[in-house]
Amino acid sequence: MSEKALRDLNTIPGSERKNENSSKGSIAKPLVGNTNGNLEEGQKKNSSSLVSPPVNGGEIVNSGAETGNTEVEYIDSEKLNDLEDVDTILKTLLAGLDSKDWVLVCEALNNVRRFSIFHKEAMLEMLGDVISLVVKSLKNPRSAVCKTAIMTSADIFSAYKDLIIESLDPMLVQLLLKSSQDKRFVCEAAEKALVELTTSVSPILLLPKLQPNLKHRNPRIRAKASMCFCRSVPQLGVDGIKEYGIDKLIQIAASQLSDQLPESREAARSLLLELQTVYQKSYDLSSIAVSEQPEKPEMGSWENFCQSKLSPLSAQAVLRVTNISREALVIGS
């Protein structure tokens, strides 16, 4: 009995020691899990600080399910601070724009804006590559990236002006598309960028880029392109319009009068009124020359000019629009 009791006593501590070891193992696992959780939480905090720095002010938007707990700050151009280390940031700029981390992409886009405003010469050599990656961000389905890219486009237009013309086509199509989207804050930003485009880039260079989009299969893109075209033409001035070809411009405007969307038609009306004013000023200035050159029927009245350059139906539509608008202006005055 004593030997059996001794064996029992010897087995109890072993069992307890086994249970104790098992308990220690079960405690260790939650510790690892908590550590990973803390790391993830720390990464989120770091990411949030990258997108929403406490300086500069600006519009802060919580992008909800799209970004989790991260807040995105849209900083106005005039509130952007200068870069602290230009050379280092320039070396990593393209990699940041091409990153798979959308937070880093937004940070890189804001750095492109800073380069455009404060150090545009430094980024000039890589401008084509930068624009290609900005276009990539314009296509990004995440609204925060898309809007930041739109704001970046506007700053690029303002800084580089005619220098962007060779790289403009893909960016222009995306901005026209974004300006017609249902997301209001994206749409408004794209419209501002297009206004900046038409005021920053020479119309003689911009109009040929806009013209193909006037026949785009997407009616919304056609409408936005018509509005840009209408804004850009007056910047040519009287002499510039004559040089570009008033007959060419009137044909473009006439084709937009029958477009599907009212925005296109309204832009066409505004453009036709502008062309009529320019034509009549030119006619008044050239009245002596006209009497000496009767073989040029296009130098006659506005009505004769329209009928000589357009089909009968198009001429009728143009004359109706311009005559009614002029009569309304006279009555209003």
Q: What is the arithmetic mean of pLDDT over 163-188?
A: 95
Lowest mean pLDDT among 80-94, 131-145, 152-166, 279-293: 279-293
State phi, psi for 72 to the nearest 5 degrees. -110, 130
Confidence grade of residue 93 (pLDDT, cut at 50, 70, 90): very high
pLDDT for the residue numbered 325: 60
The structure's pTM equals: 0.75
Contact by Cβ (8 Å): 111, 55: no
Q: pLDDT per residue over 200-253, tens digit each?
A: 999 999 999 999 999 999 999 999 999 999 999 999 999 999 999 999 999 999
Confidence grade of residue 281 (pLDDT, cut at 50, 70, 90): confident
Q: What is the arithmetic mean of pLDDT over 297-301?
A: 65
Residue 292 or 142, more confident = 142
Q: Is the pLDDT of residue 129 over 50?
A: yes
| Closest of 208, 195, 123 to residue 166, by C-alpha | 208
Q: What is the arithmetic mean of pLDDT over 129-140?
A: 98
pLDDT for the residue numbered 181: 85
Distance (Å) of CA 55 to CA 49, 58, 84, 113, 141: 11, 9, 14, 16, 27
Query: Which of 10-24, 38-52, 122-136, 271-285 is predicted most confidently?
Result: 122-136
Q: Is the pLDDT of residue 150 over 80?
A: yes
What is the full DSSP assignment across 59-102? EEEE-GGGTTT-EEEE--GGGPPPPS-HHHHHHTHHHHHT-S-H
Q: What is the arithmetic mean of pLDDT over 312-317?
A: 96
Q: What is the arithmetic mean of pLDDT over 14-24?
A: 44
How far is Cα 20 from Cα 14, in angstroms, rounded to an integer? 10
Three-class HEC string of 138-172: HCCCCHHHHHHHHHHHHHHHHHHHHHHHHHHHHHH
Q: What is the arithmetic mean of pLDDT over 51-57?
A: 41
Instruction: Report the percent of the chain where pLDDT is more than 90.
Output: 68
Provide the Cα torsion 30, 33, 38, 41; round to 10°. Answer: -130
Q: pLDDT per residue over 55-75, tens digit each?
A: 334 444 444 434 444 677 899
pLDDT for the residue numbered 27: 35
pLDDT for the residue numbered 31: 38
Unique residue bearing structure tokens 């890589």? 126
Q: pLDDT per residue over 103-123, tens digit each?
A: 999 999 999 999 999 999 999
pLDDT for the residue numbered 70: 63
What integer best gives the mean pLDDT of the chain? Answer: 81
pLDDT for the residue numbered 25: 40
State phi, psi for 59 to the nearest 5 degrees. -85, 125
152 CB-side CA count, 13 A: 29
Q: What is the arithmetic mean of pLDDT over 167-181?
A: 96
pLDDT for the residue numbered 44: 39
Confidence grade of residue 182 (pLDDT, cut at 50, 70, 90): confident
Contact by Cβ (8 Å): 61, 80: no
